[in-house]
Amino acid sequence: MSDTAPEGDKAGAATSHAAVCPLDCADTCSLAIELQDGRVSRVRGSTANPFTRGRICAKVAQALPSQVHGEGRLLRPLLRDGARGSGRFRPASWDEALDAVYEGFDRVRVRYGSEAIAPLYYGGPMGLLAHGSMDKRFFHRLGASRVDASPLCAGVSDAAWNSVFGDVGGIPFTELGDARLIVVWGNNITNCNLHLTTLIRDARSRGARLVVIDPKRTRIARDADLHLPLLPGTDVVLAYAVAAELERMDAINTAFVATWVTGAEAFLAEARQYPVERAAELCGLAPAQIRQFARLWRDLAPVATAFGVAPERNRNGGAGLRAAYALPALTGNFGPPGAGICQVSGFFPIEEDALARPDLAPDGVRELNVLDIPALVLAPGDATPLRALFIYNHNPVAVHPDAAAMQAALRHEELFVVGSDLTMTDSMALADVILPAATHLEYGDLYCAYGHTYLQRSAPVMAPLGDCLPNTELFRRLARRFGFTEDCFRDSDATLMDQALAADHPALAGRRPSELPTDAAVDMSATPAPSVIRHRPPGTPSGRIELYSETLAAQGDALPRFRPLHNPRRFILVSPASERRVNSTFGGLASHRDDMVCEMHPRDAGDLSLTNGAPVRLYNNQGEVVLPLSITDEVRPGTLFVPKGAWIGDSPTGQTVNALIPGHRADLAGGACYYDCTVDVAPL
């Protein structure tokens, strides 16, 4: 099986090639890429992946050709040739650019030590090779600070999960089809888990009931039997209230709890602090809604829950998830098909250490929360300052909270910034050296998923354009320039693929990952993975589901704890996933900024005498953004919605909503508090 790009197509003859969507989206769709005259002429879904079944979102179908061939594509290495941020760069050869990276990093490590250098990455392409192989090896060998990017997304959820269930997985999403009650909690599946819509619709046609918990009446919420538009940050109160109501109705599954759960008594004692009437007031719900939710938990089984990342994005995020995870435990909803929480990481036998080789790093290298990077540039105090950053798979100016701090850090005169990307993002514009990245159509990779259990391999669809390089080759060359002689820096992409997964996993049937077909996906759930109480007990210290955590007691929160909301301004601003972008990917495209509006409830608009379509100022003490107003009763009063992922060029104020988002942290894992942001609004 060859991993070289196909030969150029004959003029006029369109050819179709298998690919995989690499974006930070749960569904990891299989794609059919049509090439004509060497250019991407059409992007469709393919049926190679039985979960995504040929259906893809409009944003990828529409934007991918211009992402690959658009005028903004970076095709040559660039060196800064003017003041930082002036936009002046000059083209350079790869040798010249790699020399510049070497000299810049070397200056920093001689003066401050290697920990003054850090990678700044996130979830651009999600392939195993692009996302954590040769790049990680390089930074480990360099002795750079390690960076934990999970506080930007999923870190809080993972920490909450580990505290309650330990290192066992959840159930595959396909089991939603076996459930009699489906709970979609903080997950706008139309934008983030598109293919669940079909699964849920089919389950409902067989009689399943659907509850959606979301402050906005999203498309899936419109179809729900019960929609709970709770106030962001109050998930923990809702879960406690349901638990208390279940106890009051004598609906706790005491046999299951006695066998599998620890801490239920303490949890329920805390839950009694949130009787329905009080909880309804705190959550902004009607008491009848909470009672109805509790009755559904009492009356229906199995119950399957699909959480999104929304509940984690505030100061009560860890508590909210821990309390919500308790509901299936208290009702015994683990074990049978369709009972549990959808979570599929356990199905993919990723050999992270073999890929990333942390053994190459010197002992004791510090690990940074990615959110601390601006502070370590701007005001490091006694800590080793950060004086060199390498940005890749990431557009931190568009993605991080407190975007002004990130911009200030990247403008710091003592900071040396290297970046690699497809286009001139807001972050690349602040770099000293820019290395042109290949799109996922220009290299092969292996793809797991976080919304289904299919493993997919891709091969290059086309040769890299211009001087672009995939991450693996970029860091191979960089390692050579730095004089790193370890054999692992010579591993080919095929070798990396074979190192990426446990070779003896039965689903691979003896095939090497690098030999998997590109026109079919491998269902990793064909081999059962340990999930909560299936095949093995919970992986907690007690071996039981821990509703009271001795481990977290050391941090002060043995039980999930509600911290009252601190709302110094009139509106809570929520910046959810967009229909037009994936994180910040496809931001900056004029054709993809038409959803940049601020949604407000009619009652609030009336109070402020605001009219639909008029520009309004959203502001707090961190910044100001101007957006057209969209008045809709889909959002709850007191809450505003502005989709995330805009670039500075998308905004007339030179700031995006990320400038308004505070820098404080969630109650677990130091997570970002994207939905814990308050603003005032005024007409322009």
Site residues for ligand SF4, window 295-314 (CB under 6 A)? Answer: none
Q: Does 521 bind ligand SF4 (CB under 6 A)?
A: no
Binding residue (CB under 6 A) for ligand SF4 from 5, 35, 56, 661:
56
Residue selected from 19, 60, 108, 681 as contacting ligand SF4 according to rule CB under 6 A: 60
Q: Residue 561's CB: how many other CB atoms inside 10 A?
A: 16
Backbone φ and ψ of 402, nearest 5°: 45, 60
Q: Which of 178, 295, 201, 304 is nearest to 248 (CA)?
A: 295
Sequence-distant (≥ 6) Cβ neighbours of residue 532 within 8 angstroms: 165, 168, 169, 170, 334, 340, 341, 538, 545
Of the candidate residues 29, 196, 231, 397, the single one contacting ligand SF4 (CB under 6 A): 29
Please give the size of the binding site for ligand SF4, defined by CB under 6 A.
11
- State the minimum distance, in angstroms, from the CB of residue 60 to ligand SF4: 4
Q: Are 161 and 189 in contact (CB under 8 A)?
A: no
Task: Considering only the stretches 55-63, 253-261, 277-285, 498-506, report the one whose residues sit in contact with ligand SF4 under the rule CB under 6 A.
Answer: 55-63
Smallest gap from residue 182 Cβ to ligand SF4 (A): 20
Packing angle, helices 235-248 and 287-299, rounded to 10: 60
Residue in 660, 655, 651, 635 with CA at minimum distance from that of residue 593: 651
Considering only residues 567 to 586 of the shown chain, the ones binding ligand SF4 according to CB under 6 A are 582
Please tell me the chain's helix, strand, coil percentages from 3-state DSSP, rounded to the nearest 5: 35, 20, 45
Rounded to the nearest angstrom, the gap between the alpha carbon of residue 45 and the centroid of all alpha carbons in its chain is 22
User: 17 or 387, CB closer to ligand SF4?
Assistant: 17
For ligand SF4, give the closer residue by CB, 260 or 454.
454
Residue closer to ligand SF4 by CB (options 176, 244) is 176
Peptide bond connecting 302 to the previous residue in cis, omega within 30 degrees of 0: yes
Which residue, chain included where needed, has tokens 């893809």?
56
Q: Which residues of 38-49 are buried (b: 16+ CB within 10 A; e: fewer)?
A: eebeebebbebb
Binding of ligand SF4 at residue 23 (CB under 6 A)? yes
**Smallest distance from the beta carbon of 9 to ligand SF4, in angstroms?**
23
Structure-token match 């060359």, residue found = 477
Nearer to ligand SF4 by Cβ, of 27 and 235: the residue is 27
Measured from the CB atom, the residue of 30 and 157 that comes closer to ligand SF4 is 30
**Binding-site member from 5, 18, 19, 25 for ligand SF4 (CB under 6 A):** 25
Closest approach, Cβ 155 to ligand SF4, in A, equals 21
With respect to ligand SF4, which residue has the nearer C-beta, 23 or 661?
A: 23
Least Å from the CB of residue 57 to ligand SF4: 3
Residue 21 touches ligand SF4, criterion: CB under 6 A: yes
Spatial neighbors of 555 by CB under 8 A, at least 6 apart, are: none
DSSP codes joined into one string, 235-250: HHHHHHHHHHHHHHTT
Q: Which of 28, 218, 369, 583 binds ligand SF4 (CB under 6 A)?
A: 28
Cα 469 from Cα 486, distance rounded (Å)? 21
**How many residues are listed for the chain in this entry?**
684
CB of 45 to ligand SF4, least distance (A): 7
Question: Is 57 near ligand SF4 (CB under 6 A)?
Answer: yes
Q: Does 64 bind ligand SF4 (CB under 6 A)?
A: no
Tell me which residues in 388-417 interact with ligand SF4 (CB under 6 A).
none
194 sits near ligand SF4 (criterion: CB under 6 A): yes
Q: Which of 5, 18, 27, 332 binds ligand SF4 (CB under 6 A)?
A: 27
Scanning 19-27, 281-289, 408-416, 555-563 for contacts with ligand SF4 by CB under 6 A, the matching segment is 19-27
First to last CA, the chain: 60
Nearer to ligand SF4, 31 or 203 (CB): 31
Q: Please report how close the Cβ of residue 27 comes to ligand SF4 at its closest, in angstroms.
A: 4
Closest C-alpha among 546, 670, 554 to residue 163? 546
Binding residues for ligand SF4, rule: CB under 6 A, are: 21, 23, 25, 27-29, 56-57, 60, 194, 582
